[in-house]
A and B are shown apart, each in its own frame.
Chain A
Amino acid sequence: MTTAAADTVLPVTQRGEPLTVVDLGEDRWLDFLRRANRAFQSGRCVTEADLPVRRATFARHRFSGVVDGDRLVATFRTWDAPVTVPGGSVVTDMISGVTVDPARRRRGLLTAMMQRDLHRARDAGTVMAMLVASQSPIYGRFGFGHATGALTWRVDLPAEVGTALPPGTDDVDVELVEDADLAAVAPAVYAAAAAGQPGAIAIDAERWDTTLGTVAVPGEDADRLRPALLARIGEEVVGYARYQLPEVWESGRYRSELTIEDLCASTPAALAALWRQLLGIDLVATVKATRPASDLLPELLVDRRRAAVVAQEDVYWVRLLDVPAALAARRYCAPVDVVVEVGDPLVLSGGRWRVRVDDAGLGSGHVPGGLPAEISATAAAPDVELDVATLSATYLGETSLVRLAAAGRVVERTPGAVRRFGAALAWEPTTSPTLHGF
């Protein structure tokens, strides 16, 4: 836990008492969990038994909130962890457990908690913050932008895989295992896959235990089968899939739906081999999966229309805390030389910078990991003006700057500058691990 920042005095009071955001110690964890889960409408009672599986993780997290008398009326939890960005990774302020008591809404509690944490993180040298929003309109005002989305596919079987498959797909052995069998191998495969998908988060050992069911989690049915697939090339594990398959038997026919909970591969061949197996399990009528936009599924099918997008959603929201450091921490796909003016409503990281991506030797400049940028403060006239939420939205390479400009969120002072800067920011992921919540 970091040293307590100066407590923020809220502009509102309850019964005449000033409310402040305070750091919360271990003695408040249970209370925190109860309040937060109730606000998120979890239907389960939280008890002491819920703490042990979380203890090691919580010890690394920062808990804060607002206490009114004895009562915790707002919660906020953050921790530092690496997040993949185009061509690299940056230590990120991960934000979760953000709730305000329904009886204390509209009094500035969220603003106070968020400002306090973002300032703390910026002062600690953290270059970006990230969260998953319970509702979409909440976090834009704090400078967060929607950076990474997911699609839910429904595939009606049979769906033949195969006109074009990645080289080596047939060399991948896929075997039926269960979640617990993944314990020793999944973390490394996930880490390899996460490195190719901007936005992919780090998963700690305790979370692997609860995800794979190797520790007892209160409220989880320990008798439920946890089917999984493991993909190998020779001895090397290159992918895994975790799924649920409740039997549905209607009118003398199987109508089971297979839901892919987690699909992760370190190579396209492994991903294709896993998809082929998941779409080829007997007695299954439909397969459903929520996947990053970069998934190859339609390209793997003989008939791409067998895969229907049934939902699309925003997943990760990013907030840059140190614009020049963040821009220098990622790689780019196109050269650019542009002066960018960034506005920041929270006065954390506004300013004007020259972003220069040099195409060192065009003829030989095939840089597999992308091109680095030089970022320097400048007083030159800006080519592009935008607020930090807009830049944050485009930072992971998925959200298009040109599209945001067309929606009126970017001012272009030099014709063509938005397209040039947008082309440099755009980035195609090389893998597509399932995007995990946090």
Chain B
Amino acid sequence: MVNATSPVQVVQLGEDRWLEFLQRSQRAFQNERRMTAADVDVRRTGYGHQRLSGVIDEGRLVSTFRSWDGDLPVPGGSTSVDLISSVTVEPTHRRRGILRTMMTADLLRARKAGTAVAMLQATESPIYGRFGFGKSLDMVTWRITTPTPLMPAPPGVDDVRVVLVEDADLAGLAPGIYDAARAGQPGAIPLTDGDWGVLLGTVTVPGVDRDKLRPALLAHSGEDVVGYARYTVTEATEHKLPTSELVVQEVAASTPQALVALWRQLLSMDLVAVVTAPNRPASDRLPELLADRRRAIQTDNQDAHWLRVLDVRAALTARRFSAPVDVVLDVTDPLGLATGRWRVLAADAGDGTAGWAVEVTETGAEPDVMMDIGPLSAAYLGETPLLHLQDVGRVTEHSPGAVRRLGAALQWQPASAPTLHGF
């Protein structure tokens, strides 16, 4: 039996353990539905490409851990990511180092495989900082009472044609649009064909009501499909006045004009009294589209994605900076994966693009800036200000102004704003 003193052994889990893996992890996340073989079938393609691991105690799976490889949009580029999910420990086996063992094993594996960063969503905020993860992206939920006056349509928006369709009609189209949109939003995860089948309802998912309408919008510009939105409406009336709520499940567009056109349509639906949009990136431009920006109320604001840099040079050179910089950066990694000292130089890419190209070389020179891997990870996607992390003592400055310079270089405004997907 695993107790406080016995060494924990993490094992890779084969197909024969998938159902048990799903049952244990869903129970730990307090899902009330019983997981059956049908639930495994929906995930079969995904699991086939993923790494499932855990700890077995007297034949019983007492912890779960799942990770897989993908590409991750980063400022001005993309890099390789180790996506981590289904991290659970049985309530009866807490505080025995099981999580630490599983996490360090996977991060070490990913580092050796040449993966630049790892990323996850946290069930609870205090858990992953100790492993070098930093809060990288926020997401917000908007609530807008409608009808609401809109700003005049910006140039090009009236050329976008929006049509009413249903989720299934998006099948061949949404993945391409989403990929174009996510390229402009650092941290937006890749989705597989299996994910799309579930999202668009083209495969049967246990527990999902097949009779429920799945309304969607599709945006065209000439012959091109440039955006889509998926939503649900719950019909309601009071005193014969419509009080229906429209929930924007997802909106994504490959051009700014298409995103504006979709928003304008979503905010102009007859018989709708409230539009709610969860999981929107902090860069959302929604308030700017309203004649009265105060009508967009943030009802929720939460940390969405936590990122962990595994390979400083690979990660930094994969992205562009917002400003030129030349600093010596000293990084300490409590897990020993990314410790080192580098000269980080960002200069004009010379290709007419806006970002500055990054060169990273090992150096023994005196550092201008020192930090743990956590703050670097938090600032990496360009949203979390490095200056805040300096203020709370997590970044040390040895050359005056170096943190402001490096912070300005790391900061990055997303070019698009697709709804963020969980994983």
Interface pair B400/A334, CB less than 8 Å apart = no
Interface pair A404/B288, CB less than 8 Å apart = yes
Interface pair B289/A303, CB less than 8 Å apart = no
CB distance from B198 to the nearest CB of A (A): 27
Q: Which residues of B sit under 8 angstroms from A137, Cβ to Cβ? A: 149, 291-292
A430–B386 Cα gap in the complex (Å)?
A: 11
Query: CB within 8 A of B408: which of A296, A304, A333, A402?
Result: A333
A305–B298 Cα gap in the complex (Å)?
A: 16
A422–B322 Cα gap in the complex (Å)?
A: 9
- Please tell me the size bucket of the interface on A: 35 or more
Q: Kindly specify which of A115-123, A207-215, A226-234, A406-414 makes contact with the partner chain.
A: A406-414
A366–B398 Cα gap in the complex (Å)?
A: 11
Per the 8 Å Cβ criterion, residues 313-352 of A in contact with B are: 313-314, 333-335
CB distance from A20 to the nearest CB of B (A): 30
A272–B392 Cα gap in the complex (Å)?
A: 8
Interface pair A299/B388, CB less than 8 Å apart = yes
Cβ-based interface call for B265 (8 A): no
Number of A-B contacts (CB under 8 A): 167
Task: Annotate A169-186 by CB proximity to B: 1 below 8 A, 0 otherwise.
Answer: 100000000000000000
Cβ-based interface call for A69 (8 A): no
Interface pair B411/A423, CB less than 8 Å apart = yes
Q: Kindly specify which of A1-9, A77-85, A357-365 makes contact with the partner chain.
A: A357-365
Interface pair A408/B293, CB less than 8 Å apart = no
A350–B298 Cα gap in the complex (Å)?
A: 35
Q: Kindly specify which of B49-57, B108-116, B152-160 makes contact with the partner chain.
A: B152-160
Q: Which residues of A sit under 8 angstroms from B389, Cβ to Cβ? A: 164, 299
Interface pair B400/A366, CB less than 8 Å apart = yes
Interface pair A428/B404, CB less than 8 Å apart = yes
Interface pair B260/A303, CB less than 8 Å apart = no
Query: CB within 8 A of A335: which of B324, B391, B393?
Result: B324
Per the 8 Å Cβ criterion, residues 401-438 of A in contact with B are: 401-409, 411, 415-420, 422-424, 426, 428, 430
Per the 8 Å Cβ criterion, residues 255-303 of B in contact with A are: 256-257, 259-260, 283, 285, 288-289, 291-294, 297-298, 300-303
Q: Which residues of A sit under 8 angstroms from B155, Cβ to Cβ? A: 408, 411
Query: CB within 8 A of B283: which of A403, A409, A417?
Result: A403
Interface pair A419/B322, CB less than 8 Å apart = yes
User: Taking CB as reference atom, which chain B residue is nearest A305?
Assistant: B125
Q: Which residues of B sit under 8 angstroms from A333, Cβ to Cβ? A: 323, 404-405, 407-408
Q: Which residues of B sit under 8 angstroms from A430, Cβ to Cβ? A: 387, 391
A11–B256 Cα gap in the complex (Å)?
A: 40
CB distance from A406 to the nearest CB of B (A): 4
Q: Which residues of A sit under 8 angstroms from B73, Cβ to Cβ? A: none
Interface pair B388/A409, CB less than 8 Å apart = no
A402–B284 Cα gap in the complex (Å)?
A: 11
A365–B368 Cα gap in the complex (Å)?
A: 12
Task: Annotate B348-362 by CB proximity to A: 1 below 8 A, 0 otherwise.
Answer: 000011110000000
Interface pair A304/B411, CB less than 8 Å apart = no
Which of A163, A312, A403 is most buried by chain B, counting CB atoms within 10 A of its CB? A403
Query: CB within 8 A of B392: which of A296, A407, A415?
Result: A296
Query: CB within 8 A of B368: which of A165, A366, A419?
Result: A366
Interface pair B393/A164, CB less than 8 Å apart = yes
Cβ-based interface call for A367 (8 A): yes
Q: Which residues of B sit under 8 angstroms from A375, Cβ to Cβ? A: none
Cβ-based interface call for B402 (8 A): yes
Interface pair B402/A406, CB less than 8 Å apart = no
Interface pair A419/B408, CB less than 8 Å apart = no
Task: Annotate B224-261 by CB proximity to A: 1 below 8 A, 0 otherwise.
Answer: 00000000000000000000000000000000110110
Interface pair B293/A314, CB less than 8 Å apart = yes
Cβ-based interface call for A302 (8 A): yes
Query: CB within 8 A of A368: which of B283, B347, B388, B400?
Result: B400
Interface pair A409/B288, CB less than 8 Å apart = yes
Interface pair B298/A311, CB less than 8 Å apart = yes
Q: Kindly specify which of B40-48, B333-341, B413-421 makes contact with the partner chain.
A: B413-421
Cβ-based interface call for B204 (8 A): no
Per the 8 Å Cβ criterion, residues 368-423 of B in contact with A are: 368, 385, 387-389, 391-394, 399-402, 404-405, 407-409, 411, 413-417
Q: Which residues of A sit under 8 angstroms from B405, Cβ to Cβ? A: 333, 365-367
Cβ-based interface call for B166 (8 A): no
Q: Give me the interface of B with A, judged by CB distance under 8 Å.
A: 124-126, 129, 135, 149, 151, 153-157, 256-257, 259-260, 283, 285, 288-289, 291-294, 297-298, 300-303, 322-326, 347, 352-355, 368, 385, 387-389, 391-394, 399-402, 404-405, 407-409, 411, 413-417
CB pairs A–B below 8 angstroms (27 shown) = A136-B293, A137-B149, A137-B292, A268-B392, A299-B392, A311-B297, A312-B298, A333-B407, A334-B322, A362-B324, A365-B405, A366-B402, A367-B405, A402-B414, A406-B416, A407-B260, A408-B154, A408-B156, A408-B256, A408-B260, A409-B288, A415-B352, A415-B353, A416-B352, A419-B354, A419-B413, A423-B322
Given A163-B129, A419-B354, A430-B387; 8 other pairs, CB 8 A cutoff: A151-B301, A311-B297, A334-B409, A362-B324, A406-B416, A408-B153, A426-B322, A428-B404
Q: Which 7 A-B pairs have the closest CB atoms?
A: A408-B154, A334-B323, A416-B354, A419-B354, A402-B413, A333-B408, A366-B401
